[in-house]
C-alpha cells in the first residue's frame, strides 16, 4: 500500500511529469483567494472572489485529471468463458 505523508508532493510531481512550477502558482492563487474570502466583509466583493476561486479550483481539477486521461489502459486478458 502506498502511503503519502501530509505535504508530500510526490504524486503531484509525478502526475505533472516532474514540473511543479505552474501547479504551485495555481495553488498559491487558490490559497490567496481562500484567505480573501474569509477576510472580506463586503458581500459584492465576496461574490467576485468566489467566482475567481471557483474558476481556479476548476482549473486545478482539470490539470489533476489530465495525466490520467492520457494514461494507457490495458485490455483485460481473461477469457469470456
Cα distances from 9 to residues 12, 24, 34, in angstroms, run: 5, 11, 21
Mean pLDDT (whole number) for 15-30:
72
The three-class DSSP label of residue 80 is coil
By the 10 Å C-beta count (0-12 exposed, 13-18 middle, 19+ buried), 49 is classed as buried
Question: Whole-model pTM?
Answer: 0.60
62 Cβ neighbours under 8 A, 6+ residues apart: none
Listed by start position, the domains of the chain span 18-66
Banded pLDDT at 21 (limits 50, 70, 90): low
Inform me whether the pLDDT recorded for 37 exceeds 90: yes
Q: What percent of the chain has pLDDT over 70?
A: 69
H/E stretch holding 12: helix 10-15
- In the DSSP assignment, the letter for residue 7 is T
Amino acid at each position: 500500500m502506498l502511503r503519502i505523508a501530509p505535504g508530500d508532493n510526490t504524486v503531484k510531481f509525478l502526475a505533472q511529469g516532474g514540473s511543479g512550477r505552474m501547479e504551485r502558482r495555481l495553488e498559491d492563487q487558490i490559497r490567496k483567494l481562500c484567505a480573501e474570502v474569509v477576510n472580506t466583509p463586503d458581500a459584492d466583493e465576496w461574490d467576485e472572489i468566489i467566482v475567481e476561486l471557483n474558476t481556479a479550483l476548476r482549473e486545478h481539477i482539470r490539470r489533476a485529471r489530465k495525466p490520467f486521461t492520457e494514461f494507457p489502459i490495458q485490455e483485460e486478458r481473461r477469457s469470456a468463458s
